[in-house]
C-alpha cells in the first residue's frame, strides 16, 4: 500500500493532512472451520493484507466517512452516530464500534476518516473484522480509552453482532486484533484461552486463492448450520454435561450419536467434533515443525466440510481438487464461511509459480470463473502506524 498516495488522497478529500495512520490486518484460518460458534478450537493467523485508516480530529459536529474501495461517502452528525445506515452500508461496521465505545462512556467528537483496504472484497479474509478493529484501535488511542486489545476484540465482535446484525463468532476479530508475525493463534473460542504457535514456513508459502464466486448462500446457510449444531447438542446432551458440541470428544460422540434424530444432524456434529481434533493435531504437528502433517490435516478438513458440513460448493471443491493435483502442494482447503470465498494452500516455494499457472486455467475451465491468487505473509495484529 502506498501511504504517500493515501495521504495525498486524504488531503484532497478533506483539505488537510491526516494526524494519524492505523492498520488492521485481514486473517486466514489455517484449520478449524465452523468450530468457533460451537465453542471449539480455531487456528488462524493475521495477514500482511489489511485495512488502513487515516484520521484527523476536527471541531465539526460530524464524523466524515470515506473509502478508496467503495463509492459511498457519508457525513454523519455526532447525535446520529447510533443510527444504522440503510442497504447494509459499509459504514455500519465503524458505526457499530462507535456505539460500543459510547456504551462505556467514550464518545467520539468530529473526525475526518479515510479507510483503504487491500483485502480482496468478499473473499472471506475478514475485511469486516479488519474495519472494526482498525476503528477500535483508533478510538482507543485518540480518545484515551487505554483498553487492552482483548477488550477491543470483544467490542468489535459485539459491534458486528448487535449493530450490523451478523451473528459471527469471535475468531475473526481475535485473529485480527491479537495476530503475531510468523505465528498462528490456537484459540479455544468459548474460553478465549490461546497460545501463539510458531509458524515456520521455511521453504513454503501460504497461497490464498479466491474463487471469485460471490458468497450468496453463506449467510443463510451459516444460520442454518448454527441451528443444526444447537439441535444436535440438545439431542445428545440428555445429562446436561456439555455446554457446546466441542465439549464432546470423539470417543464420547461414538457412544452417544445414536441419540440423534437424523443423518443430517449426525454429519454436522461429526464435522465439528473431528475438526476440533484436527486443530489439536495441527498444533502438535507444528510444535514438531511437521508441515507435511499439517497439510494432511488441512486436506481432511476440506473433505469434512464438503461431505459432513456441506458448505463448500462446486467452485471451492474445484479449486481445492486442482490444488491437490499439483506437485509441491502439501495441503489445501476452503477457508471461511464457504459457498465461495477462498482456499488456503501450503505450497513449496519452488512450486508457487507452477501452482498459479496450473490451478488457475484448470479452475477456469471447470467453472468459467477466473481465480485470483495472493501469496500471504503472516503479520502482526491491529496497531497505530504513524
Identify the helix (H) or strand (E) that includes residue 196: strand 193-198
Residue with cell 451473528: 167
Q: Per the residue annotation, which of 36, 172, 190, 317 is the catalytic one? A: 172
d(CA 61, CA 53): 20
d(CA 253, CA 258): 9
CB 371, CB 212: distance < 8 Å:
yes
Grid coordinates given for 139: 478510538
CA-based angle 26:29:32, to the nearest 5? 155
Grid coordinates given for 151: 477488550
Sign of CA dihedral 186, 210, 170, 41: negative
Give the residue from 87, 44, 52, 3 showing the smallest Cα distance to 208.
44
Burial 125-139 (b: 16+ CB within 10 A, else e): bbbbbbbbbbbbbbb
> Would you give the end-to-end CA distance of the chain in angstroms?
14
d(CA 353, CA 349): 8
Tell me 151's DSSP state.
H
d(CA 334, CA 311): 9
Give the residue from 176, 211, 182 showing the smallest Cα distance to 196.
182
3-state secondary structure of 310: coil
Grid coordinates given for 268: 454436522
59 is catalytic: no
What positions carry a catalytic annotation? 172
Amino acid at each position: 500500500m502506498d501511504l504517500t498516495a493515501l495521504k495525498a488522497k486524504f488531503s484532497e478529500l478533506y483539505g488537510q493532512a491526516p494526524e494519524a495512520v492505523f492498520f488492521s490486518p485481514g486473517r486466514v484460518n489455517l484449520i478449524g472451520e465452523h468450530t468457533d460458534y460451537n465453542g471449539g478450537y480455531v487456528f488462524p493467523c493475521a495477514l500482511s493484507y489489511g485495512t488502513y485508516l487515516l484520521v484527523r480530529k476536527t471541531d465539526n459536529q460530524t464524523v466524515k466517512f470515506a473509502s478508496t474501495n467503495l463509492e459511498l461517502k457519508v457525513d454523519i452528525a455526532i447525535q446520529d452516530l447510533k443510527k444504522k445506515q440503510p442497504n447494509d452500508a459499509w459504514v455500519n461496521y465503524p458505526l457499530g464500534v462507535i456505539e460500543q465505545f459510547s456504551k462505556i462512556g467514550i464518545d467520539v467528537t468530529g473526525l475526518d476518516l479515510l479507510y483503504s483496504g487491500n483485502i480482496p472484497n468478499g473473499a472471506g479474509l475478514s475485511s469486516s473484522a479488519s474495519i472494526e478493529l482498525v476503528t477500535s484501535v483508533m478510538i482507543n488511542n485518540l480518545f484515551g480509552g487505554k483498553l487492552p486489545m482483548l477488550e477491543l476484540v470483544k467490542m468489535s465482535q459485539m459491534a458486528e453482532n448487535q449493530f450490523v446484525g451478523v451473528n459471527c463468532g469471535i475468531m475473526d476479530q481475535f485473529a485480527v486484533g491479537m495476530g503475531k508475525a510468523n505465528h498462528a493463534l490456537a484459540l479455544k473460542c468459548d474460553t478465549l484461552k490461546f497460545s501463539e504457535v510458531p509458524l515456520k514456513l521455511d521453504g513454503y508459502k501460504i497461497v490464498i486463492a479466491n474463487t471469485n464466486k460471490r458468497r450468496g448462500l453463506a449467510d443463510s446457510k451459516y444460520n442454518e448450520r448454527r441451528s443444526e449444531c444447537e439441535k444436535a447438542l440438545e439431542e445428545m446432551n440428555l445429562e446436561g454435561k456439555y455446554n457446546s458440541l466441542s465439549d464432546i470428544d470423539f470417543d464420547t460422540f461414538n457412544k452417544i450419536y445414536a441419540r440423534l434424530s437424523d443423518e443430517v444432524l449426525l454429519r454436522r456434529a461429526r464435522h465439528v467434533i473431528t475438526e476440533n481434533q484436527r486443530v489439536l493435531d495441527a498444533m502438535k504437528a507444528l510444535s514438531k515443525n511437521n508441515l507435511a502433517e499439517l497439510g494432511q490435516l488441512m486436506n481432511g478438513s476440506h473433505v469434512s466440510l464438503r461431505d459432513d458440513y456441506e458448505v463448500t460448493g462446486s467452485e471451492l471443491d474445484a479449486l481445492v481438487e486442482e490444488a491437490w493435483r499439483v506437485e509441491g502442494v502439501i495441503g489445501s482447503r476452503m477457508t471461511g464461511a464457504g459457498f465461495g470465498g477462498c482456499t488456503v494452500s501450503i505450497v513449496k516455494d519452488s512450486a508457487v509459480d507452477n501452482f498459479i499457472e496450473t490451478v488457475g486455467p484448470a479452475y477456469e475451465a471447470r467453472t468459467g470463473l477466473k481465480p485470483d491468487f495472493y501469496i500471504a505473509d503472516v503479520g502482526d495484529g491491529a496497531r497505530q502506524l504513524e
